Each structure stands twice: as C-alpha cells, then as structure tokens.
Chain A
Amino acid sequence: MIELKQLTKIFDGGKTALTAVDDVNLSIADGEIFGIIGYSGAGKSTLIRILNGLEKPTSGTVDINGQKITDIKGAKLRKARQKVSMIFQHFNLLWSRTVQENIEFPLEIAGVPKARREAKVKELVELVGLAGREQAYPSQLSGGQKQRVGIARALANDPEVLLCDEATSALDPETTDAILDLLVDINKRLGLTIVLITHEMHVIRKICHRVAVMQGGKVVELGDVLEIFQTPKQEITKRFVAQVTESEDSSETIKHLRELYPSGELVKLIFVGEQAEQPILTALIRQHPVEVNIVQGKISHTQRGAYGTLILQLKGTDAEIRQALQFLDQENVQAEVMAND
C-alpha cells in the first residue's frame, strides 16, 4: 500500500520557483495497476521519482508498506529502493554489459552471491521471454527486447512496487501492446503493485485499474478507469479520453454522417461494462419492426470491463422508433438521438 500525503515539490531556480508537484494526496492499493496521466510538464515525472527517493519532496510524505520513504536516507534508503524498482522510457541499460550481466547488476548491488544470481537471471529471462539472448549486448537488441531486459532487471530483487516511467513511449504500437501485456502478466503472477506514468490514454485503457489525471502539478481527476472513460469531468480528461475514442462526437462527424444517412434516425448507444457483452441488438431487432443499420461503432476493453459506443441508423415509423428507444432505455443502454443540425 502506497500512501502519498500533501506531497509538494518546488524547484528553486534562483529567481523563478517552479511548483512541479502541488499538494498531491493519493492512496494506491496492493496489487493495483495505477496510472498517472498528464502532458509533459504536468509533474508526473517528478512525482514518480519522489516515490523511490530519487527526488526529495519540499513537503509531504510518501509511505510504502509502512516505511516512510521521504524520511529515510543513506543505506536505509538504498535498501528500500531494492523493493521499489523502476523501468525507464529509454531503458537505461548498461551497453558495456550483456543481457545476463545487466539483469545481474541489481543483484550485485544487493550482494547476492554468484550462483544465486545466475539462477535468478535464468528464471527472469524465461519470465520476460528473452531465453537464448543472455549473451547479447543491448546494441544487438530491438527496443522491445531492451525494455524486456529493463523489466527483468527491475524484478531481480523481488520488488513490491514497480514504477514505470513512460516505459512504452519510445516503442512502436505493436511492441507497446506486447510490453503492456507482459506488465499485466507480471502484475497477476507476482501480485506486484505497478505505478506508471504516461501521456498515452491507450496505455491507461489497456492495463490500468485506476487513473489519476495530472495538470499543473495537481491531481485534477481520480477514479476507476472505466468510470473515467464513461464520464470524464475535467476538460483535460475529456481530451485524453478522446485520444482513444476518436472524434465520433464532434459536430463535424455528426453532420457528415447525416449526409451519408439522410433517412431515419441516427441513434448513439453507449455501452458500459456488462451491457457491452449482452446481445442487445439481437433483442432489439427480434422484438421491434425497425430496420437497423450499423453506421459506426467501437468497443474497447479495459482491465475493469468493456465500454463502447455504437451509432445506428433506425428506419421505421415514428412510433416504431420511439418504442425501440424505450426498449433500449429499459435495458439500461444510454441512447441518444443525434441532432439534425
């Protein structure tokens, strides 16, 4: 369990002071994948660095499993860091060491004897899917493979918390998904708490349980990922959500769809959680004499269930359409008729 209380970090640059983190209070549960999203300069990098003591906060405390990280220093802090490990955007591997030696590095720091180091490396290489590449140098690996080494290295001392600093931002979309899958796998298998920072809503959607949105050093919105996707409150959150839901709500798009489908009614359905898995359309078509034409749709899966939108063209008499809408309402599907203008 990670507890952040009234955390503030001010960088004093002589004449100008910059408040990077501004009174942040968060509580992250054991085994949770917690995401922090924000644009660059929002303070998320500073925040994650306070969690393992790479930065000292100006005020406030961080408590990880009963230990106040913000109060300890020297040998005690170094010992604590072995249980709060970190992976990086640019992997930060030692180019002078092989894959095996890179993974051994944190074990050497922890003073683990050679034989046990080798056994541990074997196990980790297996876990991250790099078996057979132990003797390669980082320069011989692809970006995704480098991050796998980074993850193996971070897991070497059996940490309780894994901090991910934009861990997929330097990777292509396909590799990003593979690395995210690996993180979920590790989270489930080892029960590891993961705190990640990113500027990509895709990452949040795909693996996080809860998310905090940061802006100007403050946490402006916090909640379950599914809930944030359904009902984003802040303007900035809406923009992040739009990153993955595309621009289907913009008036331009609606106008364009109206031109393409001039007859009948255009209806937008919003599915959340369980409904997304129910055969509601089948029921609608069987029980009502309306013609249903799918215009546009998208269902996304998050760690907390699916959500999605579907735009339908309904054709029939006014009464038939009204009844169809009533049916959807009974099924607890949010349905709205898209305005004509």
Chain B
Amino acid sequence: MIESLFPNVEWDKMWEATLETLYMTAMSTLFTFVIGLVLGIILFLTAPKQLWANKIVNWLTGVFVNVFRSIPFIILIILLIPFTSFLIGTIRGPNAALPALIIGAAPFYARLVLIAFQEIDKGVVEAARSMGATTWTIIRKVLLPESKPALISGITVTSIALVGYTAMAGVIGAGGLGTLAFLDGFQRSRPDVVLMATILILIIVFIIQFIGDAWTRRADKR
C-alpha cells in the first residue's frame, strides 16, 4: 500500500535524512538556547535603570541582535560560508549548517528572552534585592524561574523555526530532509519523495509543539 503510493522513496535514505534533520534541529536548538539566553540577559540587565545599566553594551548587543535577526536566512548562509569553512573545515553536511542556524536563530530567541524578562514583576526583583541577593542570584533564582513558561514556549517556537531553516539549508547541501526533497525529489521529478519528506517534517514540528506546550503548562504555577 505505502510502497505503491511512494514508489520512488528509498526508506533507508529517508530515515537517514530524518535523523540528520533531527540532529541539526537538536544541536542548533541547544546552542540557540544558551547563546540566546546570554544575549537576552545582557539586553535586559544593561537596559536603563537595570542592575547593569550600560548604554554602550546595551546598544552594541541591540544592534547585533537586530542585524542578524533581520538578514533573510538564505542570504545569511551564503554570507557565512567563509566563516563556516574556517570553523568546521567544510561547507557541506549537517555540522556545516550549524553556525548559520545558530547565528540566525539565537538573536531571535534573545528577543523572546528579553520580552519574557520584561514581563516579570519589578517588585519581585526589588524584593530579592532587599533580601541582599547578588545579581547572579537574581538571574538564577528570580529571572530564570519566574519566566520559565515564556522561556520554554519561546524555545519551542524557535525550534520549529529551526526545522524550517534546516530544510532551507538543505537546498545548498546541508543534508537532511531538505536536501533529500530538493535533490532526489524536485530535481529528479519524484513528487512522492517531496511529499514524504514534507510529511516527516510536519511530524517533527507537531512533536516539538506538543512537547513544548505540555512542558510550558507544567512549568506555569500562576
């Protein structure tokens, strides 16, 4: 039945491509989370009247975030080719896609982190200060836990965007379902391969959304 609907699909290749997509999504999500969080914390704490209020650092971080958030992803990949080949040693394969994926997504997540922190009641931070908390304690025990649901739903959205980015990166040879759909499917006129790759990408997206939603709900005690 499935064989007749998808006559041209080579299942072991499809499975391998799925694993590559999952690998790229997972790794880039992980790094995006860490880098985005750090950028978000810097953006938040260096803003006027905040604990590390610093106009220059705030402005520089803001410019960095805004510039990389604004460059269309497909152009960003091309711009980063020299950087990638220096860092990874090649511009092909799943690992070579990671720098562009992370640099494209981390500034986006940094914005979401900033918004999440801005929604925390200022009084709670003031209360922590009145107890003699250090800034480090405030980050670890107030900012992060109090914005946890927003941080989780933010990384869910970012992770889903990253699935899309991996497919785009696939077109220029990153591997994964994107490459398979483009080279084996589109260029060799096999629509069933494109369809199967699409279905698998959709399944990945739904699973991420489901896990993210459930986790957000569990973290929210408000």
Contact = CB atoms under 8 A, between A and B. Distances in A.
Interface of B: 121, 123-124, 126-134, 137, 141-142, 145-146, 148, 219, 221-222
Nearest to A97: B145
B123 A92 contact: yes
A110 B132 contact: yes
Given A81-B130, A85-B130, A90 B121 contact: yes
Given A90-B123, A95-B222, A139-B222, A54 B129 contact: yes
Given A96-B221, A137-B221, A109 B132 contact: yes
B58 to A, nearest CB: 18
Given A96-B148, A96-B221, A137-B221, A78 B134 contact: yes
A195 interface: no
B130 to A, nearest CB: 4
Contacts of B132: 77-82, 106, 109-110
Contacts of A139: 221-222
A52 interface: yes
A95 B145 CA distance: 9
A82 B137 CA distance: 15
Contacts of A105: 128, 131, 141
Contacts of A97: 145
23 contacts: A54-B129, A77-B132, A78-B132, A81-B130, A81-B132, A85-B130, A85-B131, A90-B123, A92-B121, A92-B124, A92-B126, A93-B127, A96-B148, A105-B128, A105-B131, A105-B141, A106-B132, A108-B137, A109-B133, A110-B132, A137-B221, A139-B221, A157-B131
Interface string A145-187: 0000000010001000001000000000000000000000000
Listed from nearest, the 9 A-B pairs whose CB atoms lie closest are: A78-B132, A92-B127, A81-B132, A92-B123, A106-B131, A96-B145, A86-B130, A137-B221, A82-B132
A28 B147 CA distance: 40
A80 B132 CA distance: 8
A78 B142 contact: no
Q: Interface size class for chain A?
A: 20 to 34
Contacts of A109: 128, 131-133, 137
B78 to A, nearest CB: 43
Interface of A: 52, 54, 77-82, 85-86, 88, 90, 92-97, 105-106, 108-110, 137, 139, 153, 157, 163
Interface centre among A52, A80, A85, A92 (most CB of B within 10 A): A92
A108 B133 CA distance: 9
A54 B133 CA distance: 12
Nearest to B137: A109
Given A96-B148, A108-B141, A81 B131 contact: yes
Contacts of A82: 131-132
A52 B142 contact: no
A86 B221 contact: no
B140 to A, nearest CB: 10
A77 B133 CA distance: 10
Nearest to B122: A92
B221 to A, nearest CB: 4
B145 A52 contact: no
A108 B148 CA distance: 20
Nearest to B131: A106
Contacts of A77: 132
Nearest to A156: B131
A153 B133 CA distance: 14
Q: Which among B131, B134, B146 has the greatest number of chain A C-beta atoms within 10 A? A: B131
B51 to A, nearest CB: 12
